């Protein structure tokens, strides 16, 4: 059964708006190469496949083309749901899909192109950071969640990496992406009468306790939003640990605090909003309610003068973002079947290339050293992630972190 016919067979309880919108985005029966000129360079990659820049051969419009090998679609039903959801959503803070193609080898999703980078990447580029900017960004996150929930969509994997800016302009829209774990819910969006979900989905730092216990509704997205805001304001997560299991135990305890130098300049109103998001479901604000919170209303207004937050907040966020990037790169390495033997070889390459024993390695030499390994292209991306100051070298800490992360991920997936 084709993806298009599978999607058409899905029952829909959505509004007339959704039905009209989804009929506009259908499978293009042509060969994708007849419609788009696909550039060789990658915009991104992951365990799912790769994203290339594509130019429409008639209009010249640029699109991001996500190429997903059929062999990597392990759960076709989940994938069909993601495409169905992308078909139905149309909002300035939600990634847009224009059309999709299929052939015997791949499925191609043609998406709007976003070049502004991830949420936290934009924040750490700032010379200074204020609550006004945080509120401006967080309002867009709430707008996206509010829209999705009204359309009966629960995202289930909200995290900073899944929010990207459309362009590098300072006024660019922030967009939520990656609906791979999302769910179309029955019932209404009104708090208290939502259909319950049972499948465990999400990312440890942002997952809610009720998702872990296996009975939850759309309000799980609001817990995740609260965790994002917490990190946005102080630079580290409310729940942490040395590994995923420790983080999840901390989530289940649900205890967090506003102590430390990072919180000195943060307003009580911001803390109040967080406390009404990272809380028990019966107390948790909906996205619609959160948009009316005094902190959002006061700080997201144009022209509001807000006190700069401590520089250490940005430094803490840089450190957190760096570790997250390495972890994601390690996950990608595992996804492309990097074996324990490959990790040993990688360590040997590190040792052999550190000629003067100063702990720093030249990135170009490293690339040459691993060129004969399987999946060397993905490994080069992993190594580049460790070059945090982009000076072409990786220091001792960086190379140790790479192997530590890969080994940790191996253990957690055994």
- Structure confidence by residue, pLDDT tens digits, 56-83: 999 999 999 999 998 888 888 888 888 8
Beta bridge partners of 94: 176
> What letter would DSSP give residue 126?
S
Phi–psi pair at 294, nearest 5 degrees: -55, -35
Question: How buried is 13 (Cβ within 10 angstroms: 0-12 exposed, 13-18 middle, 19+ buried)?
Answer: exposed
93 closest CA partner among 29, 165, 22 = 165
Give the pLDDT score at 202.
Answer: 86
pLDDT of residue 355: 58
351 vs 133: which has the higher pLDDT: 133
**Residue listed under structure tokens 């959801």:** 85
Least confident of 2-11, 85-94, 189-198: 2-11
Is residue 66 part of an annotated ligand binding site? Answer: yes
**pTM reported for the whole predicted model:** 0.72
- Asked if 43 contacts 58 with a C-beta cutoff of 8 angstroms, the reply is no
Helix (H, G, I), strand (E, B) or coil at 162: helix
Q: Does residue 382 register a pLDDT over 70?
A: no
CB 71 within 8 A of CB 60: no
CA pair distance 211, 154, nearest whole angstrom: 12
Across the range 319-346, mean pLDDT stands at 60
Mean pLDDT, the chain, rounded, equals 77
> Which residue spans within 12-170 are E strands per DSSP?
36-46, 49-56, 62-69, 97-102, 106-111, 153-154, 163-165
pLDDT for res 9: 43
pLDDT at 34: 94
Domains of the chain: 19-111 (3.30.200.20), 119-304 (1.10.510.10), 318-413 (1.10.238.10)
Q: Which of 11, 174, 199 is nearest to 93 (CA)?
A: 174
| Backbone torsions φ then ψ of 149, nearest 5 degrees | -65, -40
Percent of the chain with pLDDT over 90: 37
- Is 93 or 357 the better-scoring residue by pLDDT? 93
Q: pLDDT band for position 253 (50/70/90)?
A: very high
Residue 152, pLDDT score: 92
pLDDT tens for residues 257-282?
999 888 988 999 999 999 999 999 99
CA neighbours closer than 13 Å in the CB half-sphere of residue 378: 22
- Non-local CB neighbours of 93 within 8 Å, separated by 6+ positions: 140, 141, 143, 144, 147, 173, 174, 175, 176
What pLDDT score was predicted for residue 10? 42
Annotated active-site positions, please?
Answer: 157
Q: What pLDDT is recorded for position 267? A: 93
Contact 215, 196 (CB under 8 A): yes
**CA end-to-end distance (rounded Å), the chain:** 34
Q: Quick one: pLDDT at residue 73? A: 84
Residue 16 is predicted with a pLDDT of 35
Decide if pLDDT at 237 tops 60: yes
- Percentage of the chain with pLDDT > 70? 63
Distances (CA, A) of 45 to 211, 295, 413: 28, 37, 21
pLDDT band at 256 (very low <50, low <70, confident <90, very high): very high
More confident residue, 77 or 206: 206
């Amino acid at each position: 059964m084709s993806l298009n016919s599978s999607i058409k067979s899905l029952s829909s309880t959505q509004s007339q708006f959704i039905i009209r919108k989804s009929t506009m985005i259908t499978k293009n029966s042509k060969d994708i190469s007849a419609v788009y000129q696909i550039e060789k360079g990658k915009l991104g990659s992951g365990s799912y496949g790769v994203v290339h820049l594509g130019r429409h051969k008639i209009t010249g419009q640029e699109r991001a083309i996500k190429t997903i090998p059929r062999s990597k679609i392990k759960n076709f039903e989940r994938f069909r749901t993601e495409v169905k959801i992308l078909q139905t959503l149309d909002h300035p803070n939600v990634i847009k899909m224009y059309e999709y193609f299929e052939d015997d080898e791949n499925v191609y999703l043609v998406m709007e192109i976003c070049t502004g980078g991830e949420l936290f990447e934009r924040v750490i580029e700032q010379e200074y950071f204020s609550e006004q900017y945080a509120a401006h960004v967080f309002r867009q996150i709430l707008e996206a969640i509010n829209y999705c929930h009204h359309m009966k969509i629960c995202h289930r994997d909200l995290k900073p990496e899944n929010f990207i800016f459309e362009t590098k302009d300072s006024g660019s829209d922030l967009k939520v992406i990656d609906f791979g774990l999302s769910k179309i819910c029955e019932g209404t969006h009104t708090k208290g009468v939502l259909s319950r979900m049972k499948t465990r989905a999400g990312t440890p730092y942002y997952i809610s306790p009720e998702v872990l216990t296996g009975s939850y509704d759309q309000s799980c997205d609001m817990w995740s939003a609260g965790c994002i805001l917490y990190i946005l304001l102080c630079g580290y997560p409310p729940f942490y640990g040395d590994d995923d299991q420790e983080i999840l135990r901390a989530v289940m305890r649900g205890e967090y605090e506003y102590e430390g130098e990072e919180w000195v300049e943060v307003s009580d109103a911001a803390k109040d909003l967080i406390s009404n998001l990272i809380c028990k479901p019966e107390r948790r604000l909906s996205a619609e309610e959160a948009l009316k919170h005094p902190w959002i209303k006061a700080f997201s207004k144009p022209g509001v003068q807000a006190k700069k937050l401590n520089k250490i907040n940005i430094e803490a966020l840089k450190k957190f973002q760096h570790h997250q990037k390495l972890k994601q790169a390690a996950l990608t390495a595992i996804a492309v079947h990097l074996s324990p033997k490959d990790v040993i070889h990688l360590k040997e390459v590190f040792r052999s290339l550190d000629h003067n024993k100063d702990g720093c390695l030249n990135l170009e030499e490293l690339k040459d050293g691993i060129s004969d390994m399987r999946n060397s292209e993905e490994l080069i991306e992993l190594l580049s992630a460790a070059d945090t100051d982009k000076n072409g070298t990786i220091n001792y800490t960086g190379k140790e972190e790479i192997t530590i992360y890969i080994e940790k991920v191996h253990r957690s997936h055994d």
